[in-house]
């Protein structure tokens, strides 16, 4: 999974198609992300002390991971991401469109370092 919290993503399927938003949370077990301002639904709430007005509340619901694409920080376009090891053994994610780095996935490990 190459998407992290606070990444900017574009929704590529559903009612919010082609809209961009920030990732608020990720549920890795189910494979869903919660994107700020996307996939809004109405929840009908009756009056209570917590909500004295009652009525319809607008809530964000999770989106399948396959329906979002990461926006590359370098080229600013939605792109597929890959993972690669650097010379020091650290793992990074990169944009498959422009080839630039999009952040570190794992710290450096000796067994993945390039031997000279």
Domain ranges of the chain: 1-71, 73-116
CA 64/CA 19 separation, integer angstroms: 15
Phi, then psi, of 75 in degrees rounded to 5: -95, -15
Is the pLDDT at 36 greater than 70? The verdict is: yes
Domain range 1-71, CATH class: mainly beta
Tens digits of residue pLDDT in 57-89: 899 999 999 999 999 999 999 999 999 999 999
> Where does the pLDDT of residue 1 fall: very low under 50, low under 70, confident under 90, or very high at 90 and above?
low
Q: Is the pTM above the cut of 0.85?
A: no
């Amino acid at each position: 999974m190459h998407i992290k919290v606070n990444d900017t993503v574009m929704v590529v399927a559903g009612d919010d198609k082609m809209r961009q938003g920030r990732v608020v949370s990720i549920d890795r077990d189910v494979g869903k992300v919660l994107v700020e301002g996307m996939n809004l639904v109405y929840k009908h709430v009756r009056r209570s002390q917590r909500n004295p007005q009652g009525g319809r509340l607008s809530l964000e619901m999770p989106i399948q991971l396959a329906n979002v694409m990461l926006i590359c920080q370098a080229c600013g376009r939605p792109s597929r991401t890959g993972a690669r090891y650097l010379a020091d053994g650290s793992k990074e994610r990169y944009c498959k469109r422009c080839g630039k780095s999009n952040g570190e996935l794992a710290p450096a490990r000796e067994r993945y370092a390039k031997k000279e």
